[in-house]
A = this chain, B = another copy of it.
Amino acid sequence: MSKAFELPVKPQKDEIKERLRVRRDEIFAKQMTIKEKKLPVLIVVEGWGTSGKGTLISNIIKDIDPRFFKVCNIEARTEEQKRYPFLKKYFDLIPEQGKISLLDGGWMSELTRMKLNDDIHASEYERYVKSIKIFERQLVEDGYLLIKLFIHISKKDQKKRIDELLDDKNTKWRISKHDIEQNKHYDDHLDAFKSFIDETDAAYAPWYVIDGSSENWAQLQALDVISEALDTAFTNSNINFPVLQNSFPLAKMQKLSDIELYNKTISEKDYDKKLDMLQERLSELHYELYRKKIPVVIAYEGWDAAGKGGNIKRITAALDPRGYEVHPIASPEPHEKARHFLWRFWTRLPKDGHIAIFDRTWYGRVMVERIEGFCSENDWKRAYNEINEFEKELVDWGAVVIKFWVQIDKETQLTRFTDRQNTPEKQWKITDEDWRNREKWDQYETAIDEMIKKTSTEYAPWHVLESVDKKYARVKALEIVIDSIERKLK
């Protein structure tokens, strides 16, 4: 039997409602930007019979000006259409710039159905898949935003919906023979859908699998995807590069400026007690990681003088030196600069059972390299996606990936800088560059907010360590490391 899709976690009803309201307003506002930026948008809605494709489309377009969109219901190919190449039917339907086309069904339904009915030979199926990949790539390279949604429901859920619709003479007509057949051979269809999704999934045209178990929730997931994809397309409209969408589920994150710093403190006494206890626990866990061959990657980023170094020390103090390594990351050496920016991190990965701590990381690409112009706009805009892919590799490999942002405010930094300047034994810690970076605080804050928003994937979210009270931050870091490892070891 097929393994089901990975689906996002469903929030509470009230949260769905509130988030829906926000998203609806966003989409309403964004329709004008689509027009202004002359963005052509093609949204393909695929899914199981009775999964609610039509309803979803109605919900998406509810607030959009009818002059801006067109809904195309993809019917079975007519005898006339069969006389043209397979792709023509779909090429005919592509939207013009500044417009949205929504397809109810599409090439996926058509092709998987042909495959399951043995209407086409396996080699023909492969050829059509190839054609579709080329078609999608050509559109995206031409500046199209292509959003592909698949609404998923379980076999049981589909059966229930079919039965309910059949029971009512007013809705009976909505159930086709194909729906019933699909439910009977659910697993075969699931396999066909999955392999099509695998074959045609690409960073420039990813598949979004949507949990169709309830109408509002499906709607929210779709609007989340559409709103985020539009943002990516808008911000990339000035670079000459196909838009890469982020198809990894993201955790919601606060903006840096919304983070309360001054109530995050710990007393000296509590700190001493907790530190001992937590370090002891981490020490035990380190041996267990070693035995079970689980690798851990801990990434530290934060403002200058935020207290990264001291924080890292409190982690390593608990670790067996044979089982971890700290990598201080400075600007790349010439032989590193001459390769893909992730190369120097790939080569520094821990082996299984080991811990690697990065003091500054691959996120330099979207912070210092972005702001100082050390890489092109294309490079850093593409990097969010490359980083999410990189960390997904690590998680899939079996690693625990923990990312810390060590946060202070501008005033605290000034106090610490001045202290470093005035204390002879701390002077080595402060350079002219630190002062120069400080002048760009606002630019950095914008970049960091964007980074945290775009790379807080569910599998590797950012953790903010409030570090005006450094001791508080150290305890919090240890707790998060311990918790992440314990959840992995369970």
Contact = CB atoms under 8 A, between A and B. Distances in A.
A53 to B, nearest CB: 25
Given A126-B198, A335-B96, A389-B134, A346 B91 contact: yes
Interface in A75-117: 80, 83-88, 91-92, 94-98
Given A123-B3, A138-B386, A393 B97 contact: no
Contacts of A335: 96
Nearest to A80: B351
A342 interface: yes
Contacts of A379: 142
A396 B343 contact: no
Chain A, interface residues (CB within 8 Å), range: 35 or more
A340 B139 contact: yes
A347 B393 CA distance: 42
A84 B394 CA distance: 9
A58 to B, nearest CB: 26
A340 B95 CA distance: 9
A96 B241 CA distance: 23
A144 interface: yes
B241 A86 contact: no
Most B C-beta atoms less than 10 A away, residue of A80, A141, A239, A353: A141
Contacts of A130: 198, 201
A150 to B, nearest CB: 17
B198 A88 contact: no
B394 A338 contact: no
A36 to B, nearest CB: 14
A338 B94 contact: no
Instruction: Rank and list the top 4 A-B pairs by shortest CB-CB distance, nearest first.
Output: A96-B338, A83-B351, A91-B346, A85-B397
Given A83-B351, A88-B347, 7 more contacts: A40-B338, A84-B352, A88-B346, A126-B198, A127-B396, A134-B203, A138-B389
